[in-house]
Structure 1
């Protein structure tokens, strides 16, 4: 879970900017209306960076102008930092302030208020108007968070492909913050311009030292000036010393100097990983072909009747719980349209404290989440009954009211219903690189070419182990069996998903889904009675009252489903560019001798080949965020997560670890 902010302070109303001021001070000086009207390319993206979100006035003004001026297929990415821990209280209060009607009349302001992320340090992403507007809220220390979006100094100096901000909105109070301006410079290019408020006609030297040069200024009120200017690249810009270890540059793809000319992407695999990736790319204007060996999407690991949107989070500040927390927030927003359409149910998820150690962890987590009760909270006693609808013996549990369950295959089919996406049936067993055509050939078992692709995403779970390009990935194929339990008069009262040693989902079509087993090394998908019995036993050992609901069930006549999960050693997904294994072993061989070796090389990666797999049993929770991360990388857009978390899921992480441990 991202580290918690201090308790919020209060801003005076006189300190708050109006939407009218935002338009006059920030939008008009940069001639944004005309620039947006002139956007022509399909999937055009315009990125605004804002050093102080305050109460969303600049964002609301920008979004309003964007919807009026930009082409229908263009997208706005608004990245805003909140340097003070005022977000949770000031943001909500100001949007509802009757004395500030310009902030409440818009549909967007209401949606923003409804979907406020929790007051938790990190990067939070919200999408509006079908993806036309993306808001990335950076809550915490702005210099650190802006720095975490960049590829570090090596990419800045060497000119490899990197995303950048088009226009900066800079707050007066940031004028002397040299660390912030260095971070902003890392996200800027020669086409970047800025508007800044200042107490003086001229700007602070820290801004100009970083490369932000004012070209015009005008006074807007007493002791308040608006400066306009452009960014000029400054090779003296430095980033934090954490990059001193040059081996950190393994994640930078130095060979990728431009985006693929072809706006067509091929995705191998029509499970939840492939379908969320296809949807994210299609929204960016790409034409996408999804290839799968089944006629319908979600034919294997994503084919259960019901599946839970549930992360495993804790109070610890490690990458795994932080990624899980971000994935939970992202997924809860992503699936809202489906839940509103009656697909699955946003009924909440209740995680039982079925052991004393788990109860201690949950109480520690509850203290850590004290400002985020809308998302997760500890409940006890009568509240447990009110949330679940049934009597439970467990003393306490963590309740996630904004999560629920979904039918994965139906979700996959829904995601592919986009005019830019088509599906093709083929069983691919081999990938070949054709340098003459600069494309990948996808071959079937007979050696015949089923398709060619300039850009290819491998998203076929454990199927990636059959390809020479990705068989280095330490994934595991693990069988899991779920059980369909006939609903009883007592179990029909269940209102929410319950998780413990296993899980139980509210009845759908008179059947509960219960599971799931973990059968490592078992290849047979035939349903086994012993696995049904194990699933029911796990319910009983999670809570004796849960077990009592199905005590009289005859396991010999139960239905269910068995399939394989694709899991990883570190329990994290695999998402990103596929490394050139042999070249990486050569370039980083010194790590075998000394894990702290100073290596100047950047990473080597196979051209336009990406992988998205290893989601384990939490595919529904991970996939929306990891798909967005991958789509941003392919489209050269600023990412939805901090660099540390991106590296924790990077495909090349296993190579670097194994070299340091002398396993290669």
Structure 2
């Protein structure tokens, strides 16, 4: 996950020079003028954005560098009549600049300061993968760190790219980014009318672009450069090729342009974050909650801590958990900055006893894998301060970690999204509205869903439904076969002492100890016990025994045994839900009966391939789920909401196909077939 930082030197004019590629980052004479000419006008963006008749425009850049092209695109978008429309900017960078380098460069362009400030407050060189930035309701930046060939290969063709900026270093010194493999991916992701521009007029590049379907012409270059390339994609007969097995082809559900109406079932962190992400895209949502308040279930626990789930090696799912943590950290900072809630970014000290209950992870491997901005060893100062509190000899520190009230976070999401929340409303069944007979693709003819109560009474009719109610999903026929495991957890608030008042980090061992938020009446929340849930209600699962176990477990981590008093000031139990593989259910809801019939051949041959005809029918049209986030919900709910919102609205996703497959609820049915389980 760690990346190689660029080797740059600074020229006398304050501009950077790449020692790796022996090339400049931008024109020494007029970088803004060159960027506007080559990339903005080269793709005819001023004219196209004046007449844009779609909800969004997707722009991709190879070679993000200083971010100058991005800032100028933001400025032009802001100046264009694009109210209610979205710019989705997708950029790729193998060697991202460090934060201080980026700040130094952006200081050169004070006229771009409003957009630079929004970007810089979220930017950090925090590892490989796709970093999603929400700069406003109108602009999304997906910044992919890593090899462009690998990252492009993960993008979905159906979402498409409308314009390309090719801004890598000189082709003579940076062969890979201009190679045929990259250009083939560009063609795959383009559609009729997609444009492309670049400063390079190399003959090989022109010929390769022609071969993959682009019409290319040389036009007037900028400044002393005589020519540049402008291209338009004309080829329309390339068939859509899925990136994975046919059963994994997740449908992009395009909502009706005249009505965008989605019901979310569940008003916890998952449901409320979904309402917020969809509202940023102009989608109308309603939340239906059986309880008499939002955050009534596991999200009603007083405090949640934010820290990443760690892995020994890099993988698609490891990147998902890393970027869930990073995205949520940025989101919490943003909401706090605008006064919507209080986020305590106090850092998290993670003891060896918390790393992995089955097989301890090696701290040296972890610090070698994860960026320092995410995970590091404790400083000598922190060790000295904490040694009298806990056993921290093998501890790790997450500087971006912290804690928040999940109920306050749910309330902030609801306030900002202006979502209609219907409390005390139990949705018992879903009835699909009539689908026209004879259609080969049920998504094109889907007419919505009726939400009905216990007595069959009609509650609402909507275009789509998202399930965010975790342990209660099995009540719905369409979700009955999805595996959900529930665990009872209990938190306890104990009285503190003058010494415990000095604790300013979260300390996580077998239990998690939160700093006191009241320095007059010092107390500390300890979370949380784990017990298998046997069908009791959360209130019935409350246990005095768990309070005692919480105290004993946190005492094991403390070197000062008199730090806390065993005086219980508060106790609360809740039900957490997870899956057998401890990864949440995020995506479209599969039709399990169709899956079993269509892919039954996997029982005889686990590697069998299938044609990709009618694969949209593998899923219930307009049904989605984000549930079973377990104890990682503060990190994963917000990021998963972005993934689902992008999927529903037909955007490129911030995750690759491999990660989408790992989250896809269909995975369990396919695994069972391969294991010959009926």
TM normalised by structure 2 equals 0.87
In 2 relative to 1, CA 433–318 (structure 1 residues): closer, same or farther, beyond 3 Å? same
Question: In structure 2, what is the equivalent of residue 122 of structure 1?
Answer: 129
Match of 1:566 among 570, 577, 601: 577
In 2 relative to 1, CA 199–320 (structure 1 residues): closer, same or farther, beyond 3 Å? closer
Question: In structure 2, what is the equivalent of residue 34 of structure 1?
Answer: 47
Q: CA deviation at 1:234?
A: 5.7
Question: In structure 2, what is the equivalent of residue 429 of structure 1?
Answer: 428
Equivalences for residues 10-159 of structure 1 within 5 A = 10=8, 12=17, 15-17=24-26, 18-39=31-52, 44-83=55-94, 85=95, 87-89=96-98, 92-97=100-105, 101-102=108-109, 106-129=113-136, 131-150=137-156
Equivalences for residues 249-288 of structure 1 within 5 A = 249-253=246-250, 258-261=254-257, 262-288=259-285
Is structure 2 residue 467 aligned with structure 1 residue 458? yes
Q: CA deviation at 1:639?
A: 0.2
Match of 2:635 among 621, 632, 638: 621
Q: Judge conservation of contact 1:95–1:104 (CA < 8 Å) in 2.
A: no
Residues 513-563 of structure 1: per-residue CA shift (max 9 Å, x gap):
211111113424243111011111221223333x5312x414xx4421111
Inter-partner Cα distance in structure 2 for 1:212 and 1:9: 34
Question: In structure 2, what is the equivalent of residue 399 of structure 1?
Answer: 397
Residues 230-249 of structure 1: per-residue CA shift (max 9 Å, x gap):
1123656998xx96xx7x12
Q: CA deviation at 1:575?
A: 0.7
Match of 2:493 among 463, 466, 484: 484
Equivalences for residues 382-393 of structure 1 within 5 A = 382-386=381-385, 391-393=389-391
In 2 relative to 1, CA 640–532 (structure 1 residues): closer, same or farther, beyond 3 Å? same
Is structure 2 residue 316 aligned with structure 1 residue 319? yes
Q: CA deviation at 1:381?
A: 4.7
In 2 relative to 1, CA 234–5 (structure 1 residues): closer, same or farther, beyond 3 Å? farther
In 2 relative to 1, CA 455–305 (structure 1 residues): closer, same or farther, beyond 3 Å? same
Q: Judge conservation of contact 2:178–2:205 (CA < 8 Å) in 1.
A: no
Q: Judge conservation of contact 2:374–2:398 (CA < 8 Å) in 1.
A: yes
In 2 relative to 1, CA 570–402 (structure 1 residues): closer, same or farther, beyond 3 Å? same
User: Secondary structure, in 3 states, of the residue corresponding to 1:646?
Assistant: helix
Q: Judge conservation of contact 1:632–1:639 (CA < 8 Å) in 2.
A: yes
Match of 1:534 among 546, 549, 552: 549
Segments of 5+ residues of structure 1 without an aligned counterpart are 152-161
Q: CA deviation at 1:383?
A: 2.1
Residues 265-312 of structure 1: per-residue CA shift (max 9 Å, x gap):
111111111111110000000111111112321111111111111222
In 2 relative to 1, CA 26–114 (structure 1 residues): closer, same or farther, beyond 3 Å? same
Q: Judge conservation of contact 1:265–1:288 (CA < 8 Å) in 2.
A: yes
In 2 relative to 1, CA 40–424 (structure 1 residues): closer, same or farther, beyond 3 Å? farther
User: Secondary structure, in 3 states, of the residue corresponding to 2:562?
Assistant: helix
Inter-partner Cα distance in structure 2 for 1:176 and 1:279: 39
User: Secondary structure, in 3 states, of the residue corresponding to 2:263?
Assistant: strand
Match of 1:337 among 331, 334, 337: 334
Q: CA deviation at 1:185?
A: 2.0
Q: CA deviation at 1:350?
A: 1.3
Is structure 2 residue 174 aligned with structure 1 residue 169? no
Equivalences for residues 575-590 of structure 1 within 5 A = 575-590=586-601
Q: Judge conservation of contact 1:201–1:225 (CA < 8 Å) in 2.
A: no
User: Secondary structure, in 3 states, of the residue corresponding to 1:394?
Assistant: coil
Segments of 5+ residues of structure 2 without an aligned counterpart are 9-15, 436-445
Q: CA deviation at 1:359?
A: 7.6
Inter-partner Cα distance in structure 1 for 2:133 and 2:387: 32
Report the RMSD for the aligned CA atoms in angstroms. 2.6
User: Secondary structure, in 3 states, of the residue corresponding to 2:109?
Assistant: helix
Inter-partner Cα distance in structure 2 for 1:115 and 1:439: 38
Q: Judge conservation of contact 1:460–1:613 (CA < 8 Å) in 2.
A: yes
User: Secondary structure, in 3 states, of the residue corresponding to 1:316?
Assistant: coil
Is structure 2 residue 520 aligned with structure 1 residue 506? no
Report the more deviating stretch, 297-306 or 164-173. Answer: 164-173
